[in-house]
């Protein structure tokens, strides 16, 4: 795992960091005079954990938050938490044949990545795999948008996504890519075993090599597309739909 110092902003992000990864929270800054009960809860939680807390003016919070909406709470954090690609096989093996992976091929918008992580955490994914290049990394905006999910789910940045996909296939993971032109749909595949769901970036979808490496391509049915002219879904929406179809299948006895 690797760490780097950064400021995180927002009540949900700070609270989640204290709850899930307190050892890497270096200090908490709260708005002086703020009466929000959740800010008071954050202060109490941090003090119980012996993490330094300072009450500061709103202007100081504005500066440290770097333009992010902080809601009166920020924290200096020695992370986002990330796993090395060498640890991915261990995560798959520990899932004992029930690994559920999310692979995101070039998501650029930090709000989209944060929303994808939120869905991934709620669905109980084994890991989220993202490329190190041509993709947004886990920054302060991602952490805030994820509402704590960046702390709760393993995030694995990899050097070469196609190579990682082939390694996952050798571990018995079936990889299905989301593509609007695919003949089959997401509701027609079996997602009860080791499965990786591969979604592309906002502009161009799956890159050619990523697409070719998938075991199969599927689409999300959009019966209203012809009438509305809406031809695709936001990547975070598509992620939620696809992941929770896997959750549904795994819950059926």
Q: Which domains does the chain have, with CATH numbers?
A: 5-78 (3.30.1330.30), 85-251 (3.40.1280.10)
Whether residue 107 contacts residue 128, with contact meaning beta carbons closer than 8 Å, is answered with no
pLDDT of 152: 82
pLDDT of 3: 47
Stated length of the chain? 253
Q: Answer yes or no: is 224 a known binding residue.
A: no
CA 78 to chain CA centroid, Å, is 18
> What's phi and psi for 159, nearest 5 deg?
-75, -40
Q: Answer yes or no: is 39 a known binding residue.
A: no
Q: Answer yes or no: is 233 a known binding residue.
A: yes
What is the residue whose two structure tokens read 């990545």?
A: 113
> What's phi and psi for 74, nearest 5 deg?
-140, 165
> What's phi and psi for 100, nearest 5 deg?
-125, 110
The answer for 200, left when phi > 0, alpha when psi is -120 to 50, beta otherwise, is: beta
Q: What is the mean pLDDT of each run of 10 residues along the chain (253 residues)?
A: 67 87 88 91 95 93 84 82 88 97 95 95 96 86 77 92 98 96 94 97 90 96 68 89 97 83
């Amino acid at each position: 795992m690797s760490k780097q110092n950064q400021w995180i902003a927002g009540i949900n992000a700070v609270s989640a960091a204290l709850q899930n990864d307190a050892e890497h929270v270096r200090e908490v800054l709260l708005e002086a005079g703020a009466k929000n009960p959740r800010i008071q809860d954050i202060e109490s939680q941090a003090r119980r954990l012996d993490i330094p807390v300072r009450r500061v003016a709103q202007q100081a919070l504005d500066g440290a938050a770097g333009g992010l909406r902080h809601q009166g709470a920020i924290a200096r954090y020695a992370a986002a938490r990330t796993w090395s690609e060498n640890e991915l096989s261990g995560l798959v093996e520990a899932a004992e044949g029930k690994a559920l992976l999310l692979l995101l091929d070039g998501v650029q918008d930090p709000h989209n990545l944060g929303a994808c992580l939120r869905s991934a955490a709620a669905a109980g994914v084994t890991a989220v795999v993202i490329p190190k290049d041509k993709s947004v990394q886990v920054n302060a905006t991602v952490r805030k948008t994820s509402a704590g999910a960046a702390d709760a789910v393993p995030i694995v940045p990899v050097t070469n996504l196609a190579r990682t996909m082939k390694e996952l296939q050798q571990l018995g993971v079936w990889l299905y890519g989301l593509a609007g032109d695919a003949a089959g749909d997401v509701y027609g595949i079996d997602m009860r075993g080791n499965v990786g769901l591969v979604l592309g970036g906002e502009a161009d979808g799956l890159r050619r090599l990523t697409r070719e490496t998938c075991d199969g391509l599927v689409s999300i049915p959009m019966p209203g597309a012809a009438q509305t002219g809406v031809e695709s879904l936001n990547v975070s929406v598509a992620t939620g739909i696809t992941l929770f179809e896997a959750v549904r299948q795994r819950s059926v006895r």
